[in-house]
């Protein structure tokens, strides 16, 4: 998506360790006008799918997921990261290793909010090694719900997550795919896409 790529070029900061900082518009300060365009694009990309729920993970997926959900006219559920599982009612749980924080979280969603009736679009800000999305897929499956697709703002195409999830037969749509990133020389290369 050209608009997002241009914004990444303008305001993204490449950090050592293959981390792209986009906190001025995506995951700390949030440009909701941009999110709105991203929401429209996800609706177009998943128009053939019957989606009745969006699932994301706290914290940085929530903003994008909420604006997207307005376009799909469906509710958003966010998976919570927790240190200890406090069993208040029936919870679905999985473990997710955080790429940015290098630690493992228990992640929970209340059974009430993911059911066998649900057709779920998973939304997140980044796809890197795929742990976050894989964990969310796990939660959807353990609920007996259906994963209809995965919508990502920025995929780091040089990491393994995209292949991991697509190899499961899941439709993954990333609005910007970075194929190469070099902090020292400030080089950023996007994959050519139709969107
Ligand atoms: P994965 O689980 O695919 O390895 O990583 C995805 C999660 O890690 C996302 O939810 C995102 O919050 C975080 N993440 C991964 N790579 C980056 C990055 O380059 N920059 C930022 N800001 N977050 C990232």
SS3 labels along 60-107: HHHHHHHHHHHHHCCCEEEEEEECCCCCCCCEEEEEEECCCCCCEEEE
Q: Ligand 1 mean position to 128 CA, how many Å?
A: 6
What's the rounded Cα separation, in Å, for the pair 105 and 124?
17
Ligand 1 atom at shortest distance from the alpha carbon of 134: 2
Task: Give residues with Cβ within 8 angstroms of 77, minimum separation 6.
Answer: 53, 54, 55, 56, 109, 113, 114
What's the average pLDDT block by block, 10 residues per block, for the chain (195 residues)? 97 96 98 98 97 97 98 98 71 90 90 97 98 98 98 98 98 98 96 85
Sort 79 into a burial class: Cβ within 10 Å, 0-12 / 13-18 / 19+. buried
Question: Which residue has a Cα nearest atom 8 of ligand 1?
Answer: 99
0.85 exceeded by pTM: yes
Distance CA(180)–CA(188), nearest Å, equals 6
The domain limits of the chain are 2-190
Closest Cα to atom 19, ligand 1: which residue? 19
CATH topology of domain 2-190: Rossmann fold (3.40.50)
* The pLDDT value given to residue 86: 62
Place of tokens 């009430």: 112
For residue 6, which of 29, 18, 22, 17 has the smallest C-alpha distance? 22
Q: What is the pLDDT of residue 87?
A: 59
Query: C-alpha distances in angstroms, 167 versus 133, 134, 145, 178?
Result: 13, 12, 19, 19
With contact defined as beta carbons under 8 Å apart, do 77 and 53 qualify?
yes
Residue nearest to atom 9 of ligand 1 (CA): 126
Instruction: Classify each residue of 35-57 as buried b or exposed e, where b means 16 or more C-beta atoms within 10 Å of its C-beta.
Output: beebbebbbebbeeeebbbbbbb
Report which protein residue has its CA nearest ligand 1's atom 10.
126
CA 133 – ligand 1 centroid, Å: 10
Point out the ligand 1 atom lying closest to the alpha carbon of residue 97.
2
Ligand 1 proximal residues by C-beta, below 6 Å = 19-22, 27, 60, 99-100, 124-132, 161
Q: Which atom of ligand 1 is nearest to the CA of 19?
A: 19
Pairing of strands 19-21, 13-15: antiparallel
Residue for token digits 């996007």?
A: 190
**pLDDT at residue 100, as a whole number:** 79
Ligand 1 atom closest to the Cα of residue 18 is 19
Q: Which of 125, 131, 157 to mutate to test the pocket of ligand 1 (most atoms within 8 A of CB)?
A: 125
């Amino acid at each position: 998506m050209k608009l997002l790529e241009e914004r990444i070029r303008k305001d993204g900061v490449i950090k050592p360790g293959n981390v792209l900082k986009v906190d001025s518009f995506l995951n700390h300060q949030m440009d909701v006008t941009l999110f709105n365009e991203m929401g429209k694009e996800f609706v177009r990309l998943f128009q053939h799918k019957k989606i009745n729920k969006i699932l994301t993970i706290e914290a940085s997926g929530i903003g994008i997921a909420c604006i997207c959900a307005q376009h799909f006219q469906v509710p958003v559920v966010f998976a919570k990261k927790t240190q200890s599982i406090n069993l208040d009612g029936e919870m679905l749980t999985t473990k997710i290793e955080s790429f940015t924080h290098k630690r493992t979280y228990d992640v929970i969603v209340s059974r009430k909010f993911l059911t066998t009736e649900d057709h779920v679009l998973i939304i997140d800000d980044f796809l890197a090694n795929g742990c976050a999305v894989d964990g969310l897929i796990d939660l959807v499956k353990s609920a007996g719900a259906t994963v209809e697709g995965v919508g990502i703002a920025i995929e780091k195409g040089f990491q393994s997550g995209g292949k991991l999830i697509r190899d499961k037969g899941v439709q993954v749509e990333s609005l910007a795919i970075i194929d190469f990133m070099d902090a020292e020389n400030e080089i950023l290369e996007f994959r050519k896409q139709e969107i």
